[in-house]
Structure 1
Amino acid sequence: MHHSMQQRVDGLAALRARSLMATAEFYGLIGLPAPTARPLYQAIAKGKAWHIVEIATGKTKGFCFSHQAAMRFVDAMEAGAATKGVRQ
């Protein structure tokens, strides 16, 4: 990645981290727990296949033919989103 682009990405990640800390602090002031992150993907049974759907867009991201495989797929997608910083 180009140096200036990487600086921008790092700066935005730092701002996001600070906003999460500030949100937690404000919720602490009023005595409520900070909001938790919602799932980004879900598995939906459609016929013989399980569709892995991105909740925000409603787009199908993949297919599996067993519930166990679908749950592993969802877990992998969630983990990938967390490492990329997509997670709220």
Structure 2
Amino acid sequence: MHPSMQQRVDGLAAMRARTTLPPANLHVILGLTAPAQSVRYQVVAKGKAYHIIECATGKTRVFCFNYKVAVNTAQALEAAADRKAGRQ
């Protein structure tokens, strides 16, 4: 194979490998510092409802039919978890 074509194939393979890495490993490879605190709850649209999913378990904690209510609820859950963990 031509050397320039081989370089392209190798580069694409390296990028493809990075897409499957967890974010923590990607930070290490890129030489970046990981975020101090990750998000515990994520709002996801599922049909006509918005599910608030706990990122650690992948389970739905709450669902709402209004986006603003869902975001406010997720923020309240984050704040409650911070208070429980003593991270005020």
TM-score, length of structure 1 as denominator length: 0.57
How many Å separate the matches in 1 of 2:81 and 2:74? Answer: 11
Q: Which has the larger radius of gyration?
A: 2
| Number of the residue aligned with 1:41 | 41
Matched, 1:67 2:67: yes
Percent sequence identity is 50
5+ residue gaps, structure 2: 1-31
**1:28-84 residue CA offsets vs partner (Å, 9 max, x unmatched):** xxxx86741011000000000000000010010001101100100100000000000
**Structure 1 unmatched runs, 5+:** 1-31
SS of residue matched to 2:37: coil
- How many pairs are equivalent? 56
Matches within 5 A, 1:8-87: 35-85=35-85
What is the root-mean-square deviation in Å for CA atoms of aligned residues?
A: 2.1
Structure 1's consecutive aligned runs of 4 or more residues displaced over 3 angstroms after TM superposition are: 32-35
Counterpart residue type for residue 38 of structure 1: S
The equivalent of 1:22 in structure 2 is: none
